[in-house]
Amino acid sequence: MSVIRVEALKKSFKNQPVIKGVSFTLGENRCTALVGPNGAGKTTILRMLSGLLKPSSGTITFPETSNNGDFRKFIGYLPQHPVFYEWMTGKEFLEYAGKLGGLTKEEAAVRAEELFETVGLGEAKKKRISKYSGGMRQRLGIAQAMIHRPRLLLLDEPVSALDPIGRREVLGLLENLKKMSAVLFSTHILNDAEEVSDEILFLHKGEIVEAGTMARLREKYRQAKIDLTLGNVKDMELFIEQVSNKDFVQSFLVNGNAATFFVENVEEAKTVFLREILEQHLPLIKFEISKMSLEDVFMKVVRS
Amino acid sequence: MSLWFTLFKKEWLEMVRNFKIIWVPLTFLLLGSMDPLTSYYMPKMIDALGGLPEGTVIEIPYPSPPDSLMMSVAQFDTIGVLIIVLITMGLIAGERKSGVAAMILVKPVPFGFYITAKWAASLLLMWLSYITGMLASWYYTGVLFGWIPFGEFLTALILYGVWLTLIMTLTLFFSAVFKVPGLAGFCSIALAIVINLVSGVLSHRLKWSPALLQTYAGEYLHSGEFSAGTFPSILLATAAIIFLMVFAIIIFRNKELSG
């Protein structure tokens, strides 16, 4: 069952297209990562989904709900830099957010209490927000996004501003969150995406260049990767000349005397490469076979 | 409706926490008591401190009670207006600038509620302060120069209060339109000055101008009768307040709240 369906979403700022026709659906109890380099348009997409920006064209629909325009009540949103009323205490703000989300006073109080435990802010709930640290603000931000039990949680860079311990905790929290709602979070840190998300959307220059479940992406990019370092640049040029036209080499990236080859048939590639090196008497420094990480997939997708 | 009250209570709590609820009424109290007191004591103070040559006779006539009260109103019309603009101009623009408006308005909060709750809270604070100041002026005027009947005082208070309400609403409107609080404040004050000037110069042609409500309040206190333009100005001011609020909501709703 899909929670949100996005079709041909476009956005321009001052005639500069920033999002160039993006379509996807998000399912229930799935955690989806929106991955892309800085400036790819991640924040813009999240803001459009949250209703803060109006799309230039395209549609955003919540299929299971009657379409009466205001879909804000289905959404919990954490901006990249959450801002609060500094003069409130954490508890006051969270209860305020809950009441704005449609909870009664009593429900908001109970739910706020729960969430303080969930996000680990129990100690600080009676402190003024002006006294909160960056990590505490991030947690309060996540709590306020969840308070009215939204169907879809939109989190803009939820872990980028946190220290390693805080990151661990928030990533753990994301695992739990998807039991309650669909989660879409943006990040430029691929490890984070790989760790917690079921699906990944690769965004590059305002377009989704690759998308799918982690399993499907792994399947698709099951090719192996061979990292090779030779004695000097000249040797590498020679070597490239010899092997670049072989059919098992899908693509390669050269960087001075080092190169990365993406190959289909590892066994064959290994034999051919090593034989070539021996026959030409090339000074071998490093030869490493590995599976593609998400980062390699990403680099590949972005460069193509 | 409980959602509206939640928003309203937040505004009120904010005014309590940042002490607006204390210093704004206090300032109006000070403004209101200043003129009757100085008009009364000035000759005595000059006498005591002035070092004027022996035999100098100082004749400063005491103001009539209505004049004394209207001197205070003139204070409210300058410094009072400035304070109202200053405390109102950031209410929406400031929240948009800091980004907290985006945090609030991704929740299912009707835009009209958000703006009218702020308006109502400001209205309450403004009238509370203004009434405090007027009461102080009325009291000292009564003690020092003679009492104005309370009913007449109240009528004059309401007449001028309509103009203050219009200024406050105008500032809130600009606060919803612009993202920079200072710009909202500047536009409000500039527009108020222009309206005041034009209405003053062309007062015979613009009898319905709300800026003349100050004059009408004074004339009413003197003669006990409403001048010809009084009700048209009140009607126009009310229409303008409603118009400004409706447009503030419409403009605000169509704004993109981030970026």
Region B51-68 average pLDDT: 81
pLDDT for res A68: 61
Give the 3-state secondary structure of residue A75.
strand
Gap from A272 CA to chain B (nearest CA, Å)? 54
Q: Residue length, chain B?
A: 259
Kindly determine whether residue A54 and residue B100, on different chains, have CB atoms separated by under 8 Å.
no
Q: How confident is the model at residue A238 (pLDDT cuts 50, 70, 90)?
A: confident
Residues of chain B positioned with their CB less than 8 A from the CB of A104: 2
Q: Which residues contact A275 (CB under 8 A, 6 or more apart)?
A: none
Q: How confident is the model at residue B84 (pLDDT cuts 50, 70, 90)?
A: very high
- Cα–Cα distance list, A141 to A72, A115, A204 (Å): 17, 11, 27
Enumerate residues 119 to 138 of chain B having a beta carbon within 8 A of any beta carbon in chain A: none
Give the 3-state secondary structure of residue A68.
coil
pLDDT for res A209: 85
Cβ atoms B58, B52 nearer than 8 A: yes
Q: Which residue has the higher pLDDT, B251 or B47?
A: B251
Cβ atoms A98, A90 nearer than 8 A: no
Other beta carbons within 10 angstroms of residue B251's beta carbon come to 14
B10, B18, B259 ranked by CB distance to A53: nearest: B259
CA-closest candidate to residue B93, choices B174, B187, B6, B204: B174
Q: How far apart are CA A249 and CA A298, in angstroms?
A: 18
Kindly determine whether residue A82 and residue B6, on different chains, have CB atoms separated by under 8 Å.
no
Pick among B2, B98, B103 to test the A interface (most A CBs inside 10 A): B103
- Model confidence pLDDT, tens digit, residues A2-43: 888 898 999 998 889 999 999 999 988 889 999 988 888 999
Kindly determine whether residue B99 and residue A79, on different chains, have CB atoms separated by under 8 Å.
yes
Q: How confident is the model at residue B258 (pLDDT cuts 50, 70, 90)?
A: low
R_g of chain B, CA atoms, integer Å: 21
Q: What percent of chain A has pLDDT over 90?
A: 31
Gap from A298 CA to chain B (nearest CA, Å)? 27
R_g of chain A, CA atoms, integer Å: 24
Kindly determine whether residue A52 and residue B102, on different chains, have CB atoms separated by under 8 Å.
yes
Q: How far apart are CA A137 and CA A115, in angstroms?
A: 14
pLDDT for res A304: 64
Orientation angle between helical segments A164-177 and A134-146, nearest 10 degrees: 10
Kindly determine whether residue A99 and residue B102, on different chains, have CB atoms separated by under 8 Å.
no
- Amino acid residing at B195: I
Gap from A72 CA to chain B (nearest CA, Å)? 5
3-state secondary structure A222-270: CCEEEEEEECCHHHHHHHHHHHCCCCCEEEEEEECCEEEEEECCHHHHH
- Cα–Cα distance list, B23 to A94, B117, B171 (Å): 29, 21, 20
Q: How far apart are CA B71 and CA B32, in angstroms?
A: 9
Domains and their CATH numbers in chain A: 2-214 (3.40.50.300), 221-303 (3.30.70.60)
Q: How confident is the model at residue B180 (pLDDT cuts 50, 70, 90)?
A: very high
Q: Which residues contact B15 (CB under 8 A, 6 or more apart)?
A: B21, B121, B125
Residue A65 has pLDDT above 80, yes or no: no
pLDDT for res A196: 85
Q: Is the dihedral of CA A287, A293, A299, A301 positive or negative?
A: positive
| Tokens read off for B101 | 């408006």
pLDDT for res B51: 67
Q: Which residue has the higher pLDDT, B59 or B106?
A: B106
3-state secondary structure chain B: CHHHHHHHHHHHHHHHHCCHHHHHHHHHHHHHHHHHHHHHHHHHHHHHHCCCCCCCCCCCCCCCHHHHHHHHHHHHHHHHHHHHHHHHCHHHHHHHHHCHHHHHHCCCCCHHHHHHHHHHHHHHHHHHHHHHHHHHHHHHHHHHHCCCCHHHHHHHHHHHHHHHHHHHHHHHHHHHHCCCHHHHHHHHHHHHHHHHHHHHHCCCCCCCCHHHHHHHHHHHHHHCCCCCCHHHHHHHHHHHHHHHHHHHHHHHHCCCCCC
Gap from B100 CA to chain A (nearest CA, Å)? 5
The highest-confidence range among A73-82, A256-265, B138-147, by mean pLDDT, is: B138-147
pLDDT for res B252: 92
Report the number of secondary-structure helices (H) and strands (E) in chain A: 10, 13
Q: How confident is the model at residue A250 (pLDDT cuts 50, 70, 90)?
A: confident
